[in-house]
Structure 1
Amino acid sequence: MSSFWKSVRGLTAAAALVVAGLGVAAAPAQAQKVLHRGNGAEPETLDPAKSSGVPESWIQYDLFDGLLVPDGKGNFIPGAAERWDVSADARVYTFHLRRDAKWSDGTPVTAHDWVFSWRRVVDPKTAADYAYFLWPVKGAQDVTFGRKPPEALAVRAVDDHTFEVTLETPTPYFLSMLHHHATYAISRANVEKFGNDFIKAGNLVTNGAYMLDQAVPQSHIRLVKNPHHYAAATTPIDTVIFYPTENQEAELKRYRAGELHVTYELPVTQMQWLRQNLPSELRMAPYFGTYFYAPNLTREPWKSDKDLRLALNLAIDRDIIVERINQRGEIPAYSFVPPNTTNYTQQIPDYANWTQAQRDAKAKELIAAAGYGPGGKPLAIEILYNTQENHRKVAIAVASMWQQKLGVRVTLNNQEWKVFLSTRDEKQFKDVTRHGWIGDYNDANNFLELVRGDIGKQNPSAFADPQYDLLMSEANTTTDVARRADLLQQAERLMLEEVAVFPIHFYSSRHMVSPKVVGWTDNLMDLHPSRFLDLK
């Protein structure tokens, strides 16, 4: 159990029953607006430096304000920083923080908190999965790899309300990164007071529109409006309750019973029924993300046999998965970077234009040449995925394809979310793992940076190629937009040729949204902070 959940104490059964009874259909006891949101899995942690999943980020968008914040319509607007200046060489950013900004305990938010927080993210002692997110900042990589102390990070408090950041080189996507949880500030005084317990319910202070009120494992997380937030007077929703529900059928039942205003996901088994019976409440839209499988390149035979990896990749019938299994508007994927990426041309391998029969024939040829398949050595593969019906159905489909076409024996291993994250990130899975990446900012770098050899745990398959890293480093230092795009496209072609991952489909966002919810706007990043929503 994480420290976040160990923190939950002093909550009586009566209090839990009171919260459970706050159904959508029931009239509020007082004139308060309570938004009930489904939220997928239990949070790994709400520590901005240590979380890595989308379920955590939905809650964190309500708890914290980044320097920029999403407006719920696909744009990013001033958040903790009311304005900023950029130097002529595009390397120094000076953020002018809101002078009226306060933590939820009423103490001022200062530039010193931002300096402390960014140093904490890159400090190797923190072991933040997203430490690389701040690598554009001068000195960040040296700190992450222990070559320099955290104080070497080029951030400083010019005064209490001015936060200055110096970059290694001009980084065109830098501002668009600053809504992400890895860049949030936490209260230095609060961390110094409570140590690792600062994240506990009752201890945590936040600078967002809401603050943490309750957290009951396997039940809910309750946020209440932060009275010290600069936009408190114009924030319509008073209370937000997030319900972690990994079983999507159960989540949909709660929605249809009026217990949820918004679902986190939708079960594939109900898509046709929902289209026919609740079309006005079904919200589907393109989503900036890629669903894929990753082979474990720290282990044999995957580490050494590119053709074997390619055989598995070719044998996956994306059209069947998208059209018959998922049925949720996804697009079959043969590349890693999704469509609609700014200043980028998708890199489509030749075999994407083959028929599936042609891909299957090539897969059989490759696996036979590797000495496996019918008449060859036996090959057993385990697919790891996190507990969820949709992931299970995809895993079953892929396993069936590999078994029938290639003669391999496939077993499935499902794990609860937090255990799965640890197994996957530590590369403890046997063969292949389910993975997905949702873009944190609209730039190809956000996807391709994952596959660098020095990126650490976030690298899905532990792929490492010096030429790839060189292309990425050069792309990160050029200010020529066309040259940068060409370098990134070369990098993607290389990682696709080396079969670093098996892309399956590009995501679509899909939710049920109650007619009572006002202000929900579908957007490519699928970001919907509660602050910008209302209830009829």
Structure 2
Amino acid sequence: MSLLLYFVDFHHIIKPVKSYEYFRRLVKEVLCGGYSMRKNGFMFLVIGAMTALILSVAIGCGSSEKADTDAAPAAAPAAAPAAAPAPATKPAPAAKTTNVFGREMPSDAAPMADQYLKVNYEKEGESLEFPVSVYNSAAGGIQSGFSLALLSTDLSTVPGGATSWSSSDDMKTWTFNIDPDLTWSDGVPLTAHDYVYTWQYYADPEHAYDFTWYFGMLEVENYGAIEAGEKALDTIGVTATDDKTLVFQLDTPAPYVPGFMMYGSPLAKHAAEKHGQYYSNDPATTLSSTPFILKEWVPNQHAEFEANVNYTGKIKPFIENYKAVYGERKFDAYLAGEVDTISGPFTPADQEYLENDAKLMKERGLSPGDFRTHYLFFDNQSAPFNDVRVRQAFAKAIDRDAIINNIVGESAGEPRYGVLIPGFPDAAGPDKLKQYQGLDVAAAQKLLADAGFANGSGFPKLELALRQETELFQATAAAVAQQLKENLGVDVTINNMDRKTYMGHLNGHNLQFAMVSYGFDYVDASNFMGVFKTDGRHNWNNKEFEDLRIEAGAMALSDERSAKMHKLQEILSEDVGSVFFWSQVQNQLHKPYLKGTWLDTNDAGWSGLQFPDWNPGFGAQNIYEVYVGENVKEHSRSAY
């Protein structure tokens, strides 16, 4: 019989047994106690017919080796084999933590007591709710309801208050299906009727909404007539066919409607009818259908939002508390650990401090923000700005590079000659537009002279109106005034108005010369073109532009539509609907303990916080992906 014999050395490897006789002696030593398994760590293994062999072999356990022919003494009881070591006990997995919303926390998250976010706001206002006031919002304007659609951090449109939507073939009828799970914090279901009520409130002339021009751009049936006081509120082309179905009827086709609905968070109809539209300002009457609800608002101090424990929606955050802290010096608040995150633009001094601090630079994020462009506009219907030569002279007299290099900073802004920033869909190339608005002092002086104001002689003194701007924007305005004086001989003073007064004058077309900025409200070039529609936000009326704007806006997305959007930008810059002079690159600072996928580089290559920062009701969903890491204990952070 052929046998294959092995023994196992647990300290080394499996080895072949040298011979049968060697194996026999080895077995005898093991069984009779002459071989220490504990000491040598050996075990034996017999493969094949070995079991039968062992049973047929008599092994003696005498004091000395005897010949195989000797009679074997009675075998002593075999020593019990050594017990195998007990398997190591694996530590029980750490219990997973879920927050009050039922969302499982990441493994590197800090304890729940640390899961709060503190942000800064610099301007106080009259209302916390977006539908009540946009330009005079309070505490940063935190919405208590979801807009119909939100944005991903890649700026694509995703469901918000609506789970889905569809359009008619002509794109003039749009249907939104309201999330059936959403309720207000008092248990009343959120319905399509809340959105209808809110849209009627937008258009109500008694409301005199400061953002009505935006919703008017969509050309909803009868919106303009209602706003003008010519039709009743209930004639608006926004209806609820049932509690969860919202329908928009438009006068003109629009392929971009879902993106447009990034704005438009609802009021709770039953609360507004009972307590008035300011019900959200008071914790006693406020309601919310988002994960956060107002706990306390102390104007010019802070607004505190706690977890809405009655939240029923699908989008759930990690953090449980959110606090907006008032302060005009956000940069100092960040350095002191009083807030966790801030977004620029920063003052020139703060920007310089940031760029010279290696530690802070590691905490910096960069984003185009809302692709905001700063521009100068005119009363185009009155002299002297009803003359295109005057507008063109102003456009060519401004040294944008000097403003960026000496005031804004190269890492915080870029010169601009048109309204759209490269990277935004259908933005025209800057070189194409620079020919119309680029610096050319000689050409500017000739244009002004041809208009009858050689060297500024006879030109009226101007007041440049600002919208309660910060130090940085006041400095850019001062630079514009200085350049107009030096290059054209035009005298300009600056009036930094409060926001409410400014917006009243803007919407009434009562500003002769002013500075303002605009960032996207939905991700389509038609958004920016709509700002310059006839009788819109500004009174620059150009028939060629308006006809092409309507035509392009109604087209499905295509190369042909893109070409028309490029042409619109050329008309706008050449005819100087406004003087576009710089755009922001938003510098941000985020404490190292802020974690989450919101920090991931998006499809456009930006790694910072995406627009509009931390709002739970509209825009990019940053607030739903941020959490506080366990490394928070390594940093100085003020208590909540």
Whether the TM-score (by the shorter chain) exceeds 0.5 is yes
Q: Which residue number corresponds to residue 468 of structure 1?
A: 545
Q: 1:316 aligns with which of 398, 419, 430?
A: 398
Partner of 1:395: 477
In structure 1, stretches of 5+ residues that fail to align are 1-27
2:330 aligned with 1:251: yes
1:102 maps to amino acid:
T
Say yes or no: does 1:103 pair with 2:168.
no
Encode CA deviations 1:444-473: one digit per residue, 9 max, x unaligned.
111111111232xx33xx212333322222
The offset of 1:189, in angstroms, is 0.7
Partner of residue 117, structure 1: 198
Counterpart of 1:409 in structure 2 is 491
Offset of residue 81 of structure 1: 1.5
The alignment status of 1:269 with 2:349, answered yes or no, reads yes
Structure 1 residues 526 and 141 mapped into 2: Cα distance closer, same or farther (>3 Å)?
same
> Are 2:287 and 1:205 aligned?
yes
Match for residue 60 of structure 1? 142
CA positional deviation for 1:301: 1.8
1:224-251 Cα shifts (integer Å, max 9, x gaps): 2222223589422222122343x4xx21
Which position in structure 1 is the counterpart of 2:13?
none
SS of equivalent to 2:209? coil
CA-CA distance at 1:119 after TM superposition: 2.5
Distance 2:384 2:489 in 1: 16
1:293 offset after TM fit, Å?
A: 1.4
- What does the per-residue CA deviation read over 1:165-217, in whole Å, with 9 as the maximum and x for residues that have no partner? 3333431111111121xx22211111110124434323232322212222222
The structure-2 alpha-carbon separation of the partners of 1:34 and 1:55, relative to structure 1 and needing over 3 Å to count, comes to farther
Q: Distance in 1 between matches of 2:381 and 2:496?
A: 21
Question: Is the CA contact (8 Å cut-off) linking 1:381 and 1:432 kept in structure 2?
Answer: yes
Could you tell me how far apart the structure 2 residues matched to 1:220 and 1:469 are?
44
Shift of 1:71: 4.0
Q: Deviations over 1:378-398 (max 9, x none)?
A: 542222222411011101211
Q: Which of residues 255, 258, 266 is equivalent to 1:175?
A: 258
**Aligned equivalents of 1:196, 1:58: Cα separation in 2:** 18
Matched ranges for 1:39-188 at <5 A: 39-43=121-125, 45-53=127-135, 59-61=141-143, 63-72=144-153, 74-131=155-212, 132-133=214-215, 135-180=218-263, 183-188=264-269
Query: Contact 1:372 / 1:379 at 8 angstroms: preserved in 2?
Result: no
- In structure 2, the partner of 1:3 is none
TM-aligned CA deviation for residue 479 of structure 1: 3.6
Letter in 2 for 1:143: I
Post-superposition Cα deviations, 1:47-82, rounded to whole Å, max 9, x if no partner, equal: 333433497695335x32111223445343222122
- Structure 2 CA distance for aligned equivalents of residues 472 and 219 of structure 1: 44
Corresponding residue number in structure 2 for 1:339? 422
What does 1:304-453 correspond to in 2, within 5 Å?
304-327=386-409, 328-346=411-429, 351-352=434-435, 356=439, 359-372=440-453, 374=455, 376-377=457-458, 379-385=460-466, 386-429=468-511, 431-453=512-534
Does the residue aligned with 1:263 lie in a helix, a strand or coil?
strand
Distance of aligned partners of 1:422 and 1:262 in 2 relative to their CA distance in 1, 3 Å threshold: farther
Q: Is the 8 A contact 1:67 1:178 kept in 2?
A: yes
CA distance in 2: counterparts of 1:56 and 1:448, whole angstroms: 29
Q: How has the CA–CA distance of structure 1 residues 57 and 452 changed in structure 2, closer, same or farther, with 3 Å as cutoff?
A: farther
* Alpha-carbon distance in structure 1 between the residues aligned to 2:190 and 2:482: 55
Q: 1:411 to 1:454 in 2, by over 3 A?
A: closer
Is contact 1:83–1:95 with CA below 8 Å preserved after alignment? yes
Can you list the C-alpha shifts for 1:481-511, whole angstroms capped at 9, x where unaligned?
3443344333333232221211011221222
- For residues 150 and 513 of structure 1, the distance between their equivalents in structure 2, rounded to whole angstroms, comes to 45
How many residues matched? 495
Shift of 1:344: 4.9
1: CA distance, partners of 2:207 / 2:520: 23
1:131-183 deviation line (CA, Å, top 9, x unaligned): 34253434434433444333222333232222233333431111111121xx2
What is the SS of the residue equivalent to 1:114? helix
- CA-to-aligned-CA distance 1:506-532 (integer Å, 9 cap, x gap): 221222211122234326645444333
Which protein is bigger by CA-based radius of gyration? 2
Q: Is the contact between residue 187 and residue 205 of structure 1 (CA under 8 Å) also seen in structure 2?
A: yes
Say which SS state the counterpart of residue 412 (structure 1) adopts: strand
Quick check: 1:226–1:232 contact (8 Å CA) kept in 2? no
**Identical counterparts, % of pairs:** 23
Residue 300 (structure 1) aligned with residue 379 (structure 2):
no
Tell me the secondary structure at the aligned position of residue 504 of structure 1: strand
The TM-score normalised by the length of structure 1 is 0.84
The 3 A distance-change label for structure 1 pair 481 and 340 is same
Alignment of 1:481-492 (within 5 A): 481-492=558-569
Q: RCO (CA 8 Å, sep 6+): is it higher in 1 or 2? A: 1
TM-score when scaled to structure 2?
Answer: 0.71
Distance (Å, rounded) in 2 between the aligned partners of 1:72 and 1:104:
27
Distance 1:174 1:233 in 2: 22
2:312 matched residue in structure 1: 230
CA–CA separation in structure 1 for the residues paired with 2:416 and 2:257: 27
What is the CA deviation profile of residues 263-311 of structure 1, one whole-angstrom value per residue up to 9, with x for unaligned ones?
2422221223212211011222223121111123354322x22212221
Amino acid at match of 1:465: N
Assess if the C-alpha contact under 8 Å between 2:363 and 2:589 holds in 1: yes
Would the alpha carbon gap of residues 147 and 477 (structure 1) be closer, same or farther in structure 2, given more than 3 Å must change? farther
> What is the root-mean-square deviation of aligned Cα atoms in Å?
2.9
Q: CA deviation at 1:326?
A: 0.5
- Matching residue's letter, 2:146: D
Tell me, in whole angstroms, the C-alpha distance in 2 between the residues paired with 1:308 and 1:33.
Answer: 56
SS at match of 2:206: coil
Give the ranges of 4+ consecutive aligned residues of structure 1 lying more than 4 Å apart after TM superposition: 54-58, 346-351
Whether 2:287 is the aligned partner of 1:194: answer: no
Q: Distance in 1 between matches of 2:444 and 2:535?
A: 31
What is the distance in 1 between the residues matched to 2:297 and 2:314?
22
Mark the CA change 1:483 to 1:73 in structure 2 (over 3 Å): closer, same or farther. Answer: closer
Q: Distance in 2 between matches of 1:177 and 1:49?
A: 15
CA 1:281–1:201 in 2, change beyond 3 Å: closer, same or farther? same
Q: Distance in 2 between matches of 1:233 and 1:412?
A: 46
The answer as to whether partners of 1:321 and 1:394 remain within 8 angstroms in 2 is yes
Secondary structure at 1:470's aligned position in 2? helix
Q: Does the aligned pair in 2 maintain the 1:286–1:508 contact within 8 Å?
A: yes
